[in-house]
Structure 1
Amino acid sequence: MLIAVMSLMCAEMEELAKYGTLLPPNMMGLTDDQVHDLKLVDEWGETCLPSGGWTFNRDPMGRRNGRQPNEKMRDVIAKTVAEAKSIVSKKQVQAEVSLTQRMVQSALDILQGAVMIVYPMGLPPHETIRQELDNTEDLSGTQASLEVSHSP
Protein backbone atom coordinates (compact mmCIF):
# COMPACT_ATOMS: atom_id res chain seq x y z
CA MET A 1 0.00 0.00 0.00
CA LEU A 2 2.75 2.46 0.88
CA ILE A 3 4.53 1.89 -2.42
CA ALA A 4 1.31 2.70 -4.30
CA VAL A 5 1.00 5.92 -2.30
CA MET A 6 4.62 6.80 -3.05
CA SER A 7 4.07 6.10 -6.74
CA LEU A 8 1.01 8.35 -6.76
CA MET A 9 2.85 11.10 -4.88
CA CYS A 10 5.81 11.04 -7.24
CA ALA A 11 3.56 11.14 -10.31
CA GLU A 12 1.58 14.08 -8.89
CA MET A 13 4.80 15.91 -7.97
CA GLU A 14 6.02 15.51 -11.56
CA GLU A 15 2.72 16.97 -12.80
CA LEU A 16 3.02 19.81 -10.28
CA ALA A 17 6.44 20.67 -11.69
CA LYS A 18 5.10 20.68 -15.27
CA TYR A 19 1.73 22.38 -14.86
CA GLY A 20 1.37 23.95 -11.41
CA THR A 21 -1.30 23.27 -8.82
CA LEU A 22 -4.58 21.45 -9.36
CA LEU A 23 -7.52 23.52 -10.44
CA PRO A 24 -10.54 23.49 -8.13
CA PRO A 25 -12.77 20.49 -8.92
CA ASN A 26 -15.47 22.70 -10.47
CA MET A 27 -12.95 24.03 -13.04
CA MET A 28 -11.18 20.82 -14.04
CA GLY A 29 -11.52 19.92 -17.70
CA LEU A 30 -13.32 23.12 -18.68
CA THR A 31 -12.23 25.28 -21.60
CA ASP A 32 -11.16 28.89 -21.06
CA ASP A 33 -14.47 29.98 -22.60
CA GLN A 34 -16.47 27.80 -20.22
CA VAL A 35 -14.55 29.14 -17.22
CA HIS A 36 -15.19 32.69 -18.43
CA ASP A 37 -18.90 32.09 -19.16
CA LEU A 38 -19.42 30.49 -15.75
CA LYS A 39 -17.41 33.28 -14.08
CA LEU A 40 -15.22 30.77 -12.27
CA VAL A 41 -11.98 31.84 -10.59
CA ASP A 42 -9.11 29.73 -9.27
CA GLU A 43 -8.68 31.74 -6.06
CA TRP A 44 -6.13 29.28 -4.69
CA GLY A 45 -4.08 29.64 -7.86
CA GLU A 46 -3.64 33.32 -7.01
CA THR A 47 -2.25 32.66 -3.53
CA CYS A 48 -0.47 29.31 -3.88
CA LEU A 49 2.31 30.45 -6.18
CA PRO A 50 5.71 28.82 -6.63
CA SER A 51 8.74 30.51 -5.11
CA GLY A 52 10.80 32.40 -7.68
CA GLY A 53 7.93 32.89 -10.10
CA TRP A 54 6.29 30.83 -12.80
CA THR A 55 5.77 30.49 -16.53
CA PHE A 56 2.57 29.39 -18.20
CA ASN A 57 2.50 25.81 -19.47
CA ARG A 58 -1.04 24.68 -20.30
CA ASP A 59 -2.02 21.30 -18.91
CA PRO A 60 -3.36 19.30 -21.86
CA MET A 61 -5.61 17.35 -19.47
CA GLY A 62 -7.12 20.50 -17.97
CA ARG A 63 -6.40 19.36 -14.39
CA ARG A 64 -3.77 21.92 -13.39
CA ASN A 65 -3.59 25.71 -13.65
CA GLY A 66 -0.54 25.87 -15.96
CA ARG A 67 1.56 27.95 -13.56
CA GLN A 68 4.73 25.94 -13.91
CA PRO A 69 7.43 26.75 -11.34
CA ASN A 70 10.63 28.30 -12.68
CA GLU A 71 13.42 26.00 -13.83
CA LYS A 72 15.31 26.08 -10.53
CA MET A 73 12.20 25.04 -8.57
CA ARG A 74 11.34 22.36 -11.16
CA ASP A 75 14.84 20.98 -10.60
CA VAL A 76 14.22 20.89 -6.82
CA ILE A 77 11.08 18.82 -7.44
CA ALA A 78 12.73 16.55 -10.02
CA LYS A 79 15.75 15.79 -7.82
CA THR A 80 13.56 15.16 -4.80
CA VAL A 81 11.23 12.84 -6.72
CA ALA A 82 14.26 10.91 -8.01
CA GLU A 83 15.60 10.60 -4.46
CA ALA A 84 12.22 9.45 -3.11
CA LYS A 85 11.88 6.89 -5.90
CA SER A 86 15.36 5.54 -5.16
CA ILE A 87 14.44 5.01 -1.51
CA VAL A 88 11.52 2.74 -2.46
CA SER A 89 13.10 1.30 -5.62
CA LYS A 90 13.07 -2.36 -6.58
CA LYS A 91 16.85 -2.01 -6.67
CA GLN A 92 16.71 -1.90 -2.88
CA VAL A 93 15.20 -5.40 -2.93
CA GLN A 94 17.88 -6.59 -5.33
CA ALA A 95 20.46 -5.18 -2.92
CA GLU A 96 18.70 -7.17 -0.17
CA VAL A 97 17.58 -4.02 1.63
CA SER A 98 14.19 -4.50 3.25
CA LEU A 99 11.76 -1.67 2.68
CA THR A 100 10.53 -0.35 6.00
CA GLN A 101 7.81 2.07 6.94
CA ARG A 102 10.55 4.36 8.22
CA MET A 103 12.13 4.43 4.73
CA VAL A 104 8.79 5.27 3.12
CA GLN A 105 8.20 7.99 5.71
CA SER A 106 11.64 9.37 4.93
CA ALA A 107 10.73 9.53 1.24
CA LEU A 108 7.45 11.29 2.07
CA ASP A 109 9.32 13.72 4.31
CA ILE A 110 11.71 14.76 1.55
CA LEU A 111 8.79 15.21 -0.85
CA GLN A 112 7.08 17.40 1.74
CA GLY A 113 10.29 19.39 2.14
CA ALA A 114 10.43 20.05 -1.59
CA VAL A 115 6.80 21.22 -1.57
CA MET A 116 7.62 23.62 1.27
CA ILE A 117 10.59 25.01 -0.66
CA VAL A 118 8.75 25.43 -3.96
CA TYR A 119 5.37 26.44 -2.50
CA PRO A 120 6.15 28.27 0.77
CA MET A 121 2.55 29.57 0.90
CA GLY A 122 1.37 25.96 0.76
CA LEU A 123 -0.76 24.05 -1.71
CA PRO A 124 -4.52 24.39 -2.23
CA PRO A 125 -6.67 22.17 0.01
CA HIS A 126 -7.95 20.27 -3.07
CA GLU A 127 -4.40 19.46 -4.24
CA THR A 128 -3.80 15.69 -4.20
CA ILE A 129 -0.26 16.15 -2.90
CA ARG A 130 -1.42 18.22 0.07
CA GLN A 131 -4.20 15.78 0.87
CA GLU A 132 -1.78 12.88 0.78
CA LEU A 133 0.77 14.65 2.97
CA ASP A 134 -2.00 15.65 5.38
CA ASN A 135 -3.40 12.11 5.14
CA THR A 136 -6.83 13.42 4.10
CA GLU A 137 -7.04 12.24 0.48
CA ASP A 138 -10.24 10.47 -0.58
CA LEU A 139 -9.27 7.97 -3.25
CA SER A 140 -12.70 6.33 -3.49
CA GLY A 141 -13.82 5.86 -7.07
CA THR A 142 -10.32 6.32 -8.53
CA GLN A 143 -7.82 3.96 -10.11
CA ALA A 144 -5.45 4.82 -7.26
CA SER A 145 -7.95 3.44 -4.75
CA LEU A 146 -7.76 0.07 -6.50
CA GLU A 147 -3.96 0.13 -6.45
CA VAL A 148 -3.82 1.09 -2.77
CA SER A 149 -6.48 -1.37 -1.64
CA HIS A 150 -4.96 -4.27 -3.57
CA SER A 151 -1.34 -3.64 -2.67
CA PRO A 152 0.33 -6.07 -0.29
Structure 2
Amino acid sequence: MGKRSRWLALAVAVGALAGLAGCGSATDLPVFAEAQGPEDLLPADGTPNVIEGLDASTTRLLWEDAGATFYAARMAGSDAAVTCLVIFRGEEGVSGCGGLPVTVGLVGRPDYRLEAADLPNGSDQWTRVAEYLYEAKKPTEKGTP
Protein backbone atom coordinates (compact mmCIF):
# COMPACT_ATOMS: atom_id res chain seq x y z
CA MET A 1 0.00 0.00 0.00
CA GLY A 2 1.48 3.36 -1.04
CA LYS A 3 1.93 6.35 1.24
CA ARG A 4 -1.07 8.14 -0.24
CA SER A 5 -3.26 5.06 0.17
CA ARG A 6 -2.24 4.61 3.81
CA TRP A 7 -2.93 8.31 4.51
CA LEU A 8 -6.33 8.07 2.87
CA ALA A 9 -7.26 4.75 4.49
CA LEU A 10 -6.36 5.98 7.98
CA ALA A 11 -8.30 9.20 7.58
CA VAL A 12 -11.39 7.41 6.29
CA ALA A 13 -11.25 4.83 9.09
CA VAL A 14 -10.82 7.39 11.86
CA GLY A 15 -13.50 9.62 10.33
CA ALA A 16 -15.96 6.72 10.13
CA LEU A 17 -15.33 5.75 13.75
CA ALA A 18 -15.68 9.35 14.87
CA GLY A 19 -18.94 9.63 12.99
CA LEU A 20 -20.33 6.61 14.80
CA ALA A 21 -19.17 7.94 18.16
CA GLY A 22 -20.85 11.27 17.48
CA CYS A 23 -24.23 9.96 16.36
CA GLY A 24 -25.97 11.20 19.46
CA SER A 25 -24.72 14.79 19.22
CA ALA A 26 -25.84 16.03 15.81
CA THR A 27 -25.49 19.81 15.90
CA ASP A 28 -25.16 22.10 12.90
CA LEU A 29 -22.20 24.43 12.53
CA PRO A 30 -23.06 28.15 12.37
CA VAL A 31 -20.50 28.54 9.57
CA PHE A 32 -23.03 26.98 7.17
CA ALA A 33 -25.34 29.98 7.66
CA GLU A 34 -22.65 32.22 6.12
CA ALA A 35 -22.47 32.75 2.36
CA GLN A 36 -19.93 30.62 0.51
CA GLY A 37 -17.05 32.67 -0.89
CA PRO A 38 -14.34 31.83 -3.44
CA GLU A 39 -11.92 30.89 -0.63
CA ASP A 40 -14.37 28.19 0.48
CA LEU A 41 -14.13 26.18 -2.75
CA LEU A 42 -12.22 22.90 -2.75
CA PRO A 43 -9.29 22.38 -5.14
CA ALA A 44 -10.72 21.82 -8.63
CA ASP A 45 -8.33 18.92 -9.28
CA GLY A 46 -8.63 17.47 -5.77
CA THR A 47 -8.99 13.80 -4.87
CA PRO A 48 -12.13 12.76 -6.81
CA ASN A 49 -13.61 10.36 -4.24
CA VAL A 50 -13.42 13.10 -1.57
CA ILE A 51 -14.93 15.87 -3.70
CA GLU A 52 -17.65 13.73 -5.29
CA GLY A 53 -19.03 12.73 -1.90
CA LEU A 54 -19.57 16.32 -0.75
CA ASP A 55 -22.27 18.90 -1.39
CA ALA A 56 -20.07 21.50 -3.16
CA SER A 57 -22.34 24.37 -2.12
CA THR A 58 -21.64 23.72 1.58
CA THR A 59 -17.83 23.78 1.72
CA ARG A 60 -16.37 26.39 4.10
CA LEU A 61 -12.68 27.10 4.64
CA LEU A 62 -11.78 26.88 8.32
CA TRP A 63 -7.97 27.13 8.41
CA GLU A 64 -4.75 26.91 6.40
CA ASP A 65 -1.47 25.67 7.87
CA ALA A 66 1.81 24.37 6.46
CA GLY A 67 0.41 23.58 3.01
CA ALA A 68 -2.79 22.00 4.33
CA THR A 69 -6.29 23.47 4.06
CA PHE A 70 -9.14 22.50 6.36
CA TYR A 71 -12.82 22.72 5.40
CA ALA A 72 -16.21 21.96 6.89
CA ALA A 73 -18.81 20.56 4.48
CA ARG A 74 -21.91 18.45 4.30
CA MET A 75 -22.10 15.09 2.61
CA ALA A 76 -23.98 15.10 -0.71
CA GLY A 77 -27.58 13.99 -0.32
CA SER A 78 -27.54 14.18 3.47
CA ASP A 79 -29.23 16.31 6.06
CA ALA A 80 -27.54 18.82 8.35
CA ALA A 81 -26.78 16.07 10.87
CA VAL A 82 -23.99 14.68 8.65
CA THR A 83 -21.03 17.04 8.71
CA CYS A 84 -17.61 16.46 7.16
CA LEU A 85 -14.12 17.60 8.03
CA VAL A 86 -12.12 17.80 4.80
CA ILE A 87 -8.35 18.25 4.67
CA PHE A 88 -6.31 18.91 1.53
CA ARG A 89 -2.56 18.96 1.02
CA GLY A 90 -2.29 20.33 -2.47
CA GLU A 91 -4.66 18.20 -4.54
CA GLU A 92 -4.69 15.18 -2.18
CA GLY A 93 -7.65 15.17 0.14
CA VAL A 94 -9.11 13.16 2.98
CA SER A 95 -12.38 13.50 4.84
CA GLY A 96 -14.37 12.11 7.72
CA CYS A 97 -18.13 12.54 8.04
CA GLY A 98 -20.74 11.91 10.69
CA GLY A 99 -22.49 13.55 13.59
CA LEU A 100 -20.40 16.13 15.40
CA PRO A 101 -17.75 15.91 16.66
CA VAL A 102 -15.89 14.50 13.64
CA THR A 103 -12.23 13.52 13.97
CA VAL A 104 -9.84 12.89 11.08
CA GLY A 105 -6.46 11.25 11.70
CA LEU A 106 -3.46 11.82 9.49
CA VAL A 107 -0.43 9.55 9.58
CA GLY A 108 2.53 11.37 11.11
CA ARG A 109 0.43 14.43 12.01
CA PRO A 110 -1.93 15.24 14.83
CA ASP A 111 -5.58 14.29 14.61
CA TYR A 112 -8.01 17.12 13.84
CA ARG A 113 -11.47 17.50 15.32
CA LEU A 114 -14.46 19.45 14.02
CA GLU A 115 -16.62 20.55 16.95
CA ALA A 116 -19.71 22.77 17.18
CA ALA A 117 -19.13 23.79 20.80
CA ASP A 118 -15.98 25.15 22.38
CA LEU A 119 -13.99 22.57 24.28
CA PRO A 120 -13.23 23.50 27.88
CA ASN A 121 -10.28 25.85 28.38
CA GLY A 122 -7.12 23.98 29.25
CA SER A 123 -8.14 20.79 27.47
CA ASP A 124 -5.30 18.34 27.94
CA GLN A 125 -5.93 16.66 24.58
CA TRP A 126 -6.92 19.40 22.09
CA THR A 127 -5.77 22.87 21.07
CA ARG A 128 -8.13 25.22 19.24
CA VAL A 129 -6.53 26.26 15.93
CA ALA A 130 -9.57 27.89 14.29
CA GLU A 131 -13.24 28.39 14.92
CA TYR A 132 -14.78 24.90 15.17
CA LEU A 133 -11.40 23.19 14.56
CA TYR A 134 -9.10 21.55 17.11
CA GLU A 135 -5.72 19.85 16.80
CA ALA A 136 -4.68 16.97 19.02
CA LYS A 137 -1.76 17.87 21.25
CA LYS A 138 0.01 14.63 20.37
CA PRO A 139 0.60 13.43 16.78
CA THR A 140 -0.55 9.97 15.78
CA GLU A 141 2.11 7.31 16.15
CA LYS A 142 1.28 5.37 13.02
CA GLY A 143 4.19 6.42 10.82
CA THR A 144 4.82 9.09 8.26
CA PRO A 145 2.84 9.56 5.03
TM bucket (normalised to shorter chain) is under 0.3
More strand by proportion, 1 or 2? 2
Higher-Rg structure is 1
Q: TM-score, normalised by structure 1?
A: 0.25
Quick check: which one's helix share is greater?
Answer: 1
Please give the TM-score of this superposition, normalised by the length of structure 2: 0.26
Choose between structure 1 and 2 for higher RCO, CA contacts under 8 A separated by at least 6 residues. Answer: 1
